[in-house]
Structure 1
Amino acid sequence: MQDYYLKKLDRVTAILTQLQSKPLVRAQDLALKFEVSVRTIYRDIKTLENAGIPVIGEAGSGYSLMDGYKLPPVMFTKEEILSFITAEKLMQKFSHDSLGSHYQTAMEKVRSVLKHSDKNLIQNIEKQIDIFNYHPKTEDTIKNIIPTILESIAEKRQLTLEYTTADSAISLRTIEVVGVFYEFNYWYIMAFCTLRNDFRQFRVDRVRKIFKTQNPFLQEYGQINEYRRNSNGNKTRVRLLVNKKIIPHLVNSKKYYGLIEEIEREKGFEMIFETEWIKDGFPRWLITFADYAEILEPESLKISLQELIDKISIIQKT
Structure 2
Amino acid sequence: MNKTDRMLAIVLELQRKGTLRAEDLAATFETSTRTIYRDIQALSESGVPILGAPGWGYSLMEGYFLPPVSFTAEEAVALLVGTDFVEKKFDSAYGQRARGARGKIEAILPDGVRKDAERARSAIRLIADEETGAGPEEKRRLEALRGAILEGRKVRFRYSAGMAGPGGGGRQSVRVVSPYGLVLTQGFWMLVGYCELRREIRHFRLSRMDELTTLEERFRLPDGFDMQGYAAPDDRNVRVRLLADPGLADRLKEKGTFYMESVEEREDGLLVTCRVRRPEELLGWILGWGADVVVLEPESLRERIREEIEKWRRRY
**Structure 1 residues 41 and 191, CA, compared in 2 at 3 Å: closer, same or farther?**
farther
Distance in 2, matches of 1:108 and 1:172, equals 41
Pairing 1:315–2:312 present: no
Query: Moved runs in structure 1, 4+ residues, more than 6 A?
Result: none
Deviations 1:207-249 (A, max 9, x none): 6123586543223235657524x343x8744233434421311
Pairing 1:183–2:204 present: no
Match of 2:204 in 1: 202
Match of 2:176 in 1: 173
Report the secondary structure of 2:289's partner residue.
helix
Distance in 2, matches of 1:22 and 1:185, equals 32
Distance in 1, matches of 2:249 and 2:56, equals 50
CA contact (8 A) 2:239 2:273 kept: yes
How many residues align structurally?
Answer: 300
Distance in 1, matches of 2:283 and 2:225, equals 34
**Structure 1 residues 54 and 151, CA, compared in 2 at 3 Å: closer, same or farther?**
farther
Pairing 1:247–2:241 present: no
Any gaps of 5 or more consecutive residues in structure 1?
1-5, 153-157
TM-score of the aligned structures, taking structure 2 as reference length: 0.76
| Matching residue's letter, 2:177 | T
CA contact (8 A) 1:138 1:186 kept: no
CA contact (8 A) 2:12 2:66 kept: no
**Structure 1 residues 96 and 248, CA, compared in 2 at 3 Å: closer, same or farther?**
farther
Deviations 1:186-213 (A, max 9, x none): 2112334354233321223526123586
Match of 1:113 in 2: 108
Distance in 1, matches of 2:21 and 2:147, equals 29
Match of 1:272 in 2: 273
State the shift of 1:41 in Å: 3.5
Distance in 2, matches of 1:291 and 1:53, equals 70
| Matching residue's letter, 1:164 | R
Percent identical among aligned pairs is: 25
Distance in 2, matches of 1:98 and 1:86, equals 18
Distance in 2, matches of 1:252 and 1:64, equals 48
State the shift of 1:252 in Å: 4.3
Match of 1:148 in 2: 147
Any gaps of 5 or more consecutive residues in structure 2?
161-169
Pairing 1:293–2:296 present: no
CA contact (8 A) 2:158 2:174 kept: yes
1:50-89 superposed matches below 5 A: 50-56=45-51, 63-89=58-84
Report the secondary structure of 1:89's partner residue.
helix
Report the secondary structure of 1:239's partner residue.
strand
**Structure 1 residues 105 and 149, CA, compared in 2 at 3 Å: closer, same or farther?**
farther
CA RMSD of aligned residues (A): 3.6
**Structure 1 residues 308 and 143, CA, compared in 2 at 3 Å: closer, same or farther?**
closer
CA contact (8 A) 2:154 2:176 kept: yes
State the shift of 1:262 in Å: 0.9
State the shift of 1:92 in Å: 3.8
State the shift of 1:15 in Å: 2.3
State the shift of 1:100 in Å: 1.3
Report the secondary structure of 1:190's partner residue.
strand
